[in-house]
Structure 1
């Protein structure tokens, strides 16, 4: 017998190992089955009903839209600088961005004079001064009255002393001297005052001349002259009578003395009559003319004084249709030159609002004041409410044209079948306000909901009977055959329908049939795809939703 060497032993070990491995491989190959072979060899599963429990839960139907968050009604503010008469330099009172400005505030100081914000639709187009009238004067009166300043009759469209007094009160309120009419107008007043004084002196002189024409001393002297002339005539008549009484006068009696005395008496009487009834026509005419001149002088003075009533320069007031406003951007700083056509600042409404659009059918379900949920850019949620629903206007943002189930459909602002929806958020922190401004955000608007928990089943559990009635199949414990229960349906939302049993027994926890056969994975879908569905459906129709199913044999 030949001895086994080391190399021969190694060969035998390898051979034996190979044989053993081959046998093990053949044996395992008989046990391993591929997925395809397993599926082919598998027996079909036993058919069974898929059921879910009747739940008690609240249901809510929501509309979802997207909107742009902006401050309302942005306006570029310009100043009327044409009448300043020199460089329009900003000298102070420059507002800070993001600050609020209100009616009655000084929003800028130019060449040392205030620019005052007032509320009104009409822009400034002229300086208001004595003698002007128009709707801008009425607007001024209404704006000042809104500030609690007495501006007289707000329907009066004439700029008069009452309006000027109200303007002086406005300037006192803001802490600046009221504007004046200028040196030229003051000089005209002084000249008119001198003219009045001269006319008054002329009237006084003419009146003195008139009074002198009826001097009482002249009447006294005339009375004396008549009495003296009468006495002389009486003496002359007595002498003539005595002479004529003699039987044979030596000298013929002369009547010349009587005639002369009579003539003197007639003259004295005429002079007395003149003294008592003087001819004052010329003197009276002079008085009338002097009085007319005085009236004219006083009228001229009143007109000159009217020209000096406090004006309202066009460069010192700005009107905005509504206040308060938020300062979005300031284009000037202290020392800047102001050009009449360049805005000094941009302001918007002080209310942050979110604007989007919805399909008309969805928008018709929403009313002003409806509460909403706003999803912030960081994912947090804040409450808000619908401010308005209306027609889309040129230039409106469509907010991404979101709305209805699943979001936007690419609608445009010109689409007559869409409506603008404006939402205002509730109270926000300054950090939230800054985060929201300029963002496009998601808004959830509940349009219908149940009042608390209701009995609900998946939409797939509902079927329609021969008479159009809605019904569910209830599979009682231990039973293989479901029973039909007629139900009345309510709100359908979130893939579920509200139900109330009409014929048959049904309670929360009972299991209702939603399908038959198949796997659980095949019968399960996320009903959240229904998010944004806006219509209240009649769940009594044929099944329209997908339900999460619980597979039971």
Structure 2
């Protein structure tokens, strides 16, 4: 509130001045608002003492006045800013083979995991989720992150070989069986080997923003097929012991931090380390690697730093083992100073659980998919004129009106430090304001226009009356006409949207006469 006092004072004076002019034109000064036969003007003393006041409702303007109650409330001012729904950067999808286009997604279509993006010579190209392009054929015996990604997608699409598929990064007979089932579903050759030209990996659900080809058109390998905008990024978290019964699990909407217990297996916790690193080996003395560094960073963050001696590097030494033992003791685990496979799981930074894939009572298998985070890339970007920057600040709550009229709450996440010059003649330069809000109902809109209402509390918990209830006194100042009491002198504060802040011998609920 303090940052707007100067601006608000000038608004109050301006509005009060206009009010005096309008009241004078309408004959609503105190001398005319009183009984028509009263020759002496109404003074502040008269109003305060409720002396020979006019009968409530008397009027010489020709319109009958109404009444309104005195209220105690917050005075708020809304400013509507123009904005649009902004998504991530466009992503191009190119043809994986030469041939004739026999199917293709249309403009504004939403593509999700398992959807056919396009087909060449009747060979479907299917959308998968992940962050690693399938750059090579995959077959029995292959290992790697791309195998892990394929297995996670097969499991999510329920091609899980009768529950035997392990998401472990090793292409075995169960991976092959799941892939054959996938190929059969999409009419692909059931080779049990992944042809990278039959899948396309995206970060998550996407909208088609531009279609570059049509059915019947010839394409060559590498030629542009579609441009899409990814609306959500899906992160899959897997891990845990190789076997055991789940006795506890993390809940949806949990924000995961260092040390968060994401799973309990037969009573033993599986703990999060915030890192993109996978923990798929035992960590003990003399181990070296990025997983050791990530572990040491987590231990330090949690306060297990071997009395300050722990050095965050990539080497598992005696101080690392000491810190691990202290950490294990806090979890009621054996204090052996060794991190067993499945004891920790890497979780990307700023992850909030969106969907859980395991339940209490489930039997764990190697590299079980535990949960997913679905994070939208869509935000609302609004234009704030330079002379209205004081209206909003990072962290403020705003209201967003979507193209279909739906209203959703939002929070100001960022305000640009550098102004943008307006390209529209006679419009002010502006700064861009980013608003984070729930756009789940806006999945079909890219760059669609929205309104952003910034709500500013001008005065909190003040007594207000309609501005039309004010009576301008001849000697200066204002009064209101209280039903049953007559004129009561008041002092005025802020004017907002037809209401005025008043102070005087009034009580909440008093009925005051309002000019029409």
- TM-score, scaled relative to structure 1: 0.42
Task: Write 1 or 2 for the structure with the bigger share of helix.
Answer: 1
> Is the radius of gyration larger for structure 1 or structure 2?
1
